[in-house]
Amino acid sequence: MQRLENYFDYAATTPILPEVRDAMNPYFNELFGNPSAPYAFAQRAFHAVCQAREKLRVHFNASADDRIVFTGSSTEAANQVIWSCVLDHWRKTGKAGTVLISATEHSAVRNTVYGLAKMGFCEAEIVPVGADAKVRCDILEEKIAARPILVSIIGANNELGTIQPVAGIAEICRAVQVPFHCDATQLAAHSLIDLQTAPIDYLTISAHKLYGPKGIGAIVARDGAVLNPMIFGGSQESGLRAGTENVAYIVGMAEAYRILKTDFAVRSAQERKIRDWIILGVLSEIPDSRLTGHAEDRLSHHASFSFRNVDSLLLQSALDQRGFAVSIGSACRSNQIRGQQQLIEIGLSPEWINGGLRITTGLYSTSDSAAALLAALKDTVRTLRSLTA
């Protein structure tokens, strides 16, 4: 039987908090109306969507004129931002503009930009990262002088945990009037982003990384930033995303962010305490192990490692058989890794690039479960190495 305290993949997704579920429940039942209809049943749902939008505006300290558009996921949100900027430039000039992305972007950004480049609508250019997975801002400044049409840099790396200097990147982009998109799917779940101090043009977020529902995301777009629909039909979301709004999930998303702000200090301290204990235990007790990503500027719940000459697919499978849920990278691709690309991008040598493991803590992690995971990890690594010795 699965035990929730043995779940260590909170970067992939999180369970819904009871308070979030309670906030959502009325919109599955008595408040089920379609927000676009004119009668009272519908208007109560419409007002719930409006209130949720304003709660997010307050949470991120967005300006009154900034647009908040609800989407089906942060992947959809990132796609809409990138497609909008690329096709707007194409429509105006008939030429393919350049999009700058980091070497360690999530596939939601990387594959979107590469896909548009393959179709001839843009050119993709990579900004490298250092050994700690931090974006090379010196190279970004060099490349941005050529005036790309968009810079898209992930706020915090989902596989390696490194937090990027988002405010600084935003200032670099603003200085030359190049729009900046930040995929904040992970960052927004473990920090309090203030859009007045970090002038990001496009922020894309989701709910399921911070104990909200899956299947809901949003774009926070600065006033005047180009944004066009990808889904056509009705005029929902101010004409930017057709389709009946997912009221219950929108309400759940806003509630998850409200709770994050209220509980932030306690939650992040709890995550960090167990995370740091795991990091210390792995590095001190398992030979030929190394922490990947930045040692300090990392998500509060995130520990990522590489184990020399270990096959991480076998490692993950063995730990799963012992009841522990961990990851070998992004959940979007963790079942097909052969040589983990992000480990290659940070310069690890061949004997290390297949041994990546991500352990992320959360509200239901305990000291006892972390100790049990460490014991299982030590034993499994030792066993796997003995089989290939």
What are the pLDDT digits (tens) for 364-389?
Answer: 999 999 999 999 999 999 999 998 87
Residue 239's CB is within 10 A of a number of other CB atoms, namely 12
Domains of the chain: 4-13+264-388 (3.90.1150.10), 18-259 (3.40.640.10)
Active site residues: 332
Q: Are strands 217-221 and 67-71 parallel, antiparallel or unpaired?
A: antiparallel
Residues 160-174, mean pLDDT to the nearest whole number: 97
Tens of pLDDT along 302-351? 999 999 999 999 999 999 999 999 999 654 544 444 458 899 999 999 99
pLDDT of residue 2: 74
* Paired tokens of 6: 């043995």
Element of type H or E holding 30: none
Rounded to two decimals, the pTM is 0.95
pLDDT at 210 over 70: yes
Alpha carbons 135 and 309: distance in angstroms, whole number? 27
Q: Are 257 and 246 in contact (CB under 8 A)?
A: no
Q: Are 286 and 378 in contact (CB under 8 A)?
A: yes
pLDDT of residue 41: 84
pLDDT of residue 1: 55
Alpha carbons 327 and 148: distance in angstroms, whole number? 35
Alpha carbons 328 and 374: distance in angstroms, whole number? 16
Q: Are 247 and 34 in contact (CB under 8 A)?
A: no
pLDDT of residue 337: 47
Alpha carbons 130 and 257: distance in angstroms, whole number? 32
pLDDT of residue 334: 45
pLDDT at 64 over 70: yes
Could you tell me the pLDDT band of residue 200, with boundaries at 50, 70 and 90?
very high
Q: Are 215 and 246 in contact (CB under 8 A)?
A: yes
pLDDT at 167 over 80: yes
Tens of pLDDT along 74-131? 999 999 999 999 999 999 999 999 999 999 999 999 999 999 999 999 999 999 999 9
Q: Are 165 and 136 in contact (CB under 8 A)?
A: no
pLDDT of residue 311: 94
With residues binned 3-state (H G I as helix, E B as strand, rest as coil), the percentages for the chain, rounded to 5, are 45, 15, 40
∠ CA 224-143-111, rounded to 5°: 70
∠ CA 12-123-80, rounded to 5°: 45
Of 58-72, 208-222, 335-349, 361-375, which gets the smallest average pLDDT?
Answer: 335-349
Average pLDDT of the chain is 95
pLDDT of residue 258: 98
Which of 323, 115, 344, 84 shows the shortest CA–CA distance to 227? Answer: 84
